Amino acid sequence: MEFLQFAFMQRALLAAVLVGVTAPAVGIYLVQRRQALMGDGIGHVAMTGVGLGFLLSTNPVWMATLVAVLGAIAMELIRSYGRTHGDIALALLFYGGMAGGVMLINLAPGGSNANLTSYLFGSLSTVSEGDIVSICLLAAFVVLVTLGLRRQLFAVSQDEEFARVTGLPVRALNLLVAVTAAVTVTVAMRVVGLLLVSALMVVPVAAAQQLARSFRATFVIAVLVGTGVTLAGTITSYYQDVPPGATIVLLAIAVFVLLTALAAPLARRRARAAAPPATEAQACDVAVPPAAAASGSSAGTGTDGDGVRV
């Protein structure tokens, strides 16, 4: 445990834990709404913020947060209003954000793509005191929202129309999820990098789903997996000369594969335990006229029009 003596390692581990907690905590709502790739889009847009930060010589973390939040709000509005050309609008936003970042950083005095690389793929060892303060504040916001409003966010992400009929402020909650996701992206930016942020939002949740039957358990397992892989990845990168961001993401994927392999027999056992009474699972015992049986046999199951009446 000698690595704990180094201040940079302490900062790196703290940042890693915060990311391990926050990324899946937001990601679960994105996955629930089937917007798993939204984090990736926000990551692209945040690049413009990083570029602006360099150009204006301000802290790139805060500038990236600002731009990512604006981008996420735009994405949410496009999702809720735009129907026909929504995906084109999103594409313009993503690639505009990415190109803007590259352009701005090259315009900045002394800026180069090398600076950008540390944000694209993470650069744990260069996390500064100031970065840590920003990351802690942002992470606190994310935890507060994702835990404090979990029932409301669950309802909105599960069935938006129903949530509106309960009188919840659905639009505000949707925007809050978008903003929280944007904040998480910038929290995770220094650890796994903008291009791999989305993986940490989605993969631990996907892994947790293999075991969990409830939303609550999915949440808890996802956060445990997230924290586990970010810590393990950071420590691995201390001993081996490997990039932490990529290590973390590959570890998360390994956990996903492992849990999936473990879960298959578990699910079978569960299904057998909860086997519904034979009535529901049995094959048809309806007498089918021979002709129909012959013509329908290749199709396997009946469709709406196949003449079975109850």
Q: Is 250 exposed, middle or buried (0-12, 13-18, 19+ CB in 10 A)?
A: middle
For residue 218, state whether it binds other proteins (rule: CB under 8 A).
Answer: yes
Identify residues 32-71 at the interface with other proteins (CB under 8 A).
32-34, 36
Of 97-105, 162-170, 174-182, 225-233, the window that binds other proteins (rule: CB under 8 A) is: 162-170
The answer to whether 218 and 158 are in contact (CB under 8 A) is no
Mask of contacts with other proteins, 80-119, x by CB under 8 A?
A: ----------------------------------------
Cβ closer to other proteins: 257 or 271? Answer: 271
The least distance separating other proteins from the CB of residue 153, rounded to whole angstroms, comes to: 10
Cβ closer to other proteins: 191 or 200? Answer: 200
Q: Which of 85, 216, 268, 269 contacts other proteins by CB under 8 A?
A: 216
The least distance separating other proteins from the CB of residue 250, rounded to whole angstroms, comes to: 23
- Name residue, tokens 């802290």: 59
Give the span between the Cα atoms of 249 and 252, in whole angstroms: 5
Mask of contacts with other proteins, 170-209, x by CB under 8 A?
A: -----------------------------------x---x
* DSSP 8-state class, residue 240: S
Q: Which of 67, 212, 225, 259 contacts other proteins by CB under 8 A?
A: 212
The least distance separating other proteins from the CB of residue 88, rounded to whole angstroms, comes to: 19
**How is residue 55 written in tokens?**
């150009």
The continuous run of DSSP H or E covering 140 comes out as: helix 129-148
**What are the angstrom distances between the C-alpha of 22 and each of 111, 214, 222?**
30, 19, 10
Q: Nearest to residue 18, comparing CAs of 118, 196, 140?
A: 140
186 contacts: CB under 8 Å, gap ≥ 6: 46, 49, 61, 64, 65, 68, 138
For residue 217, state whether it binds other proteins (rule: CB under 8 A).
Answer: yes
Q: Which of 1, 274, 287, 291 contacts other proteins by CB under 8 A?
A: 274
**How is residue 97 written in tokens?**
């954000």
The least distance separating other proteins from the CB of residue 48, rounded to whole angstroms, comes to: 29
